């Protein structure tokens, strides 16, 4: 099936007709000269961009902020609140909220999502089962990856049940293995254990790494060392404590990540919300060492993380919001911030990525968003509504 996006404007200012076929952008013509196609979208001079991806969500928790309170507002409070709540959750309730979140993300232009899903005592693999059902129901809208987020403990005899649940979650349909090594008694051993379990299953890993401002915790260095011999993709999410290190340590760890092929996902919204609670003087922003990672050539992605739940009570599920937070809190330029939610996000996820984070060109995947905005800066600043979203070369939402 061919698709023609007629009279759309590229980020460099050219007005063009884009032709998509077999899931790719195959040609760029001067506006008004494109060929007939099976489907035609009238762009009306609106801006066309590579569609964003969400590399780190928690869809099983979405839209629970009003029913699961976290009075402390910090990470420990959120974990405790959610642990008490998730024991009562059923598959259908989780799936309803998660699908609502997926559809919100798609309406904002997102056509690929990686979600972490709790695997823990009390809930077992119910949340994974719910997200597998959502993945099937929304596969025409979005590519959905499921990470089995295996709660601590996972080591020794105390972790035997959790290791068994991890295997059950992968058998139930999870695509990758996740975990939280910095909450374990031995961070390096927990990291190694996660990689061993993932290698056994033949899947990649996406770990919550160093979600703390304690500079004495630096599990990312362990992960970079261990990942050198790991045959699958490795992603490190959060990595907050790297931002608390001196410049020499930041550069050393970033270079080790680059050499090992470890991708990093920064999550400005939730980390700004959770980190540095109670620090009244010069509270850190809680983001990872963006400059050092970029200078080392690490693949850097950015995500929204939580969507109105105890870990972050706000959020719109909009990649433009994530990019704007990177501009403000991370001091990235607008093009680099947008790249982190488009090309960087897709590279971390292992899905086809555009050659440029903002400029659509032939050969790019036909994952596109058409926005009524004059410039990329205006997209990030204004987050205009009414976006036309193209997934696998077909319109999935918008007019």
3-state secondary structure 354-394: CCCCCCCCCCCECCEEEECCCCHHHHHHHCCCCCEEEECCE
First-residue to last-residue Cα distance in the chain:
19
Claim to verify: residue 313 and residue 376 sit in the same structural domain: no
Average pLDDT over residues 333-359: 99
Beta-strand pair 15-21/2-9: antiparallel
Claim to verify: residue 34 and residue 163 sit in the same structural domain: no
Could you give the angle at the alpha carbon of 328 between the alpha carbons of 322 and 332, nearest 5°?
80
Q: How many domains does the chain have?
A: 2
pLDDT confidence of residue 117: 98
Domain-embedded: residue 65: no
Domain span at residue 19 reads 2-51+356-397
| Residue 263 pLDDT level (bands cut at 50, 70, 90) | very high
Instruction: Give dist(CA 383, CA 313) in Å, integer.
Output: 20
Domain-embedded: residue 331: yes
Average pLDDT, whole number, for the chain? 97
Q: In this structure, what are the phi and psi dihedrals at residue 395, rounded to the nearest 5 degrees?
A: -70, 130
Domain-embedded: residue 298: yes
Claim to verify: residue 80 and residue 218 sit in the same structural domain: yes
Average pLDDT over residues 65-71: 95
Average pLDDT over residues 17-46: 97
Beta-strand pair 388-391/300-302: unpaired
Domain-embedded: residue 57: no
In the predicted model, is pLDDT for residue 29 greater than 80? Answer: yes
Claim to verify: residue 339 and residue 370 sit in the same structural domain: no
- pLDDT tens readout for residues 308-343: 999 999 999 999 999 999 999 999 999 999 999 999
- pLDDT tens readout for residues 267-279: 999 999 999 998 9
CATH code of residue 335:
3.20.20.140
Claim to verify: residue 146 and residue 286 sit in the same structural domain: yes
Selection from 241, 295, 236 nearest residue 262 by Cα: 236
pTM of the model: 0.97
Claim to verify: residue 370 and residue 239 sit in the same structural domain: no
| Residue 86 pLDDT level (bands cut at 50, 70, 90) | confident
DSSP letter assigned to residue 269 = H
Average pLDDT over residues 166-188: 98
Selection from 20, 5, 8, 10 nearest residue 392 by Cα: 20
CATH code of residue 35:
2.30.40.10
Place of tokens 């036309």: 388
Claim to verify: residue 207 and residue 169 sit in the same structural domain: yes
Domain-embedded: residue 58: no
Claim to verify: residue 227 and residue 96 sit in the same structural domain: yes
Domain-embedded: residue 297: yes
Domain-embedded: residue 169: yes
Per residue, what are the HEC states of 174-221? Answer: CCEEEECHHHCCCHHHHHHHHHHHHHHHCCCEEEEECCCCCCCCCHHH
Q: In this structure, what are the phi and psi dihedrals at residue 141, rounded to the nearest 5 degrees?
A: -100, -35
What dihedral do alpha carbons 214, 216, 222, 223 form, nearest 10°? Answer: 10
CB 138 within 8 A of CB 99: yes
CB 242 within 8 A of CB 270: no
pLDDT confidence of residue 222: 98
Residues acting as catalytic residues:
211
CB 282 within 8 A of CB 240: no
Instruction: Give dist(CA 168, CA 173) in Å, integer.
Output: 9
Claim to verify: residue 339 and residue 360 sit in the same structural domain: no
Claim to verify: residue 42 and residue 91 sit in the same structural domain: no
What length does the chain have?
Answer: 399
| Residue 85 pLDDT level (bands cut at 50, 70, 90) | confident
pLDDT confidence of residue 87: 83
Claim to verify: residue 263 and residue 313 sit in the same structural domain: yes
User: Where does residue 238 rank: exposed (0-12), middle (13-18), buried (19+ CB within 10 A)?
Assistant: buried
Claim to verify: residue 7 and residue 126 sit in the same structural domain: no
Instruction: Give dist(CA 398, CA 228) in Å, integer.
Output: 44
pLDDT confidence of residue 398: 83
Domain-embedded: residue 27: yes
- pLDDT tens readout for residues 199-244: 999 999 999 999 999 999 999 999 999 999 999 999 999 999 999 9
Q: In this structure, what are the phi and psi dihedrals at residue 348, rounded to the nearest 5 degrees?
A: -60, -40
In the predicted model, is pLDDT for residue 399 greater than 80? Answer: no
């Amino acid at each position: 099936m061919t698709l023609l996006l007629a009279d759309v404007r590229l980020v460099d200012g050219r007005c063009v007709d884009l032709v998509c076929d077999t899931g790719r952008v195959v040609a760029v013509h001067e506006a008004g000269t494109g060929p007939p196609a099976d489907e035609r979208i009238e762009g009306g001079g609106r801006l066309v961009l590579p569609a964003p991806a969400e590399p780190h969500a928690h869809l099983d928790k979405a839209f629970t902020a009003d029913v699961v309170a976290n009075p402390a507002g910090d990470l420990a409070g959120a974990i405790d609140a959610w642990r008490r709540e998730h024991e009562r959750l059923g598959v259908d309730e989780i799936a309803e909220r998660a699908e609502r979140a997926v559809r919100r993300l798609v309406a904002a232009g997102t056509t690929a999502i990686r979600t972490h899903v709790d695997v823990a005592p009390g809930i077992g693999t119910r949340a994974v089962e719910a997200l597998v059902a959502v993945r099937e129901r929304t596969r025409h809208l979005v590519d959905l990856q499921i990470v089995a987020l295996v709660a601590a403990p996972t080591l020794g005899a105390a972790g035997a049940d959790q290791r068994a649940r991890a295997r059950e979650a992968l058998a139930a349909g999870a695509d990758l293995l996740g975990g939280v090594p910095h909450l374990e008694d031995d961070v390096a051993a927990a990291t190694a254990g996660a990689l061993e379990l993932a290698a056994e299953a033949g899947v990649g890993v996406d770990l919550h790494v160093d979600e703390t401002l304690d500079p004495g915790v630096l599990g990312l260095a362990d992960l970079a060392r261990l990942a050198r011999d790991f045959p699958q993709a490795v992603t490190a999410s959060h990595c907050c404590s790297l931002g608390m290190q001196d410049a020499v340590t930041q550069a050393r760890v970033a270079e080790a990540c680059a050499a090992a092929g470890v991708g990093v996902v920064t999550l400005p919204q939730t980390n700004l919300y959770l980190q540095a609670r109670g620090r009244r003087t010069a509270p850190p922003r809680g983001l990872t060492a963006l400059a050092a990672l970029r200078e080392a050539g690490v693949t850097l992605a950015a995500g929204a993380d939580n969507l109105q739940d105890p870990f972050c009570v706000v959020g719109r599920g909009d990649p433009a919001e994530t990019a704007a937070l990177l501009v403000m809190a991370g001091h990235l330029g607008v093009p680099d911030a947008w790249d982190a939610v488009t090309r960087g996000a897709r590279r971390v996820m292992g899905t086809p990525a555009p050659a440029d984070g903002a400029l659509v060109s032939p050969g790019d995947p036909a994952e596109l968003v058409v926005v009524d905005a004059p410039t990329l800066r205006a997209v990030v600043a204004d987050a205009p509504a009414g976006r036309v979203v193209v997934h696998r070369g077909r319109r999935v939402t918008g007019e």
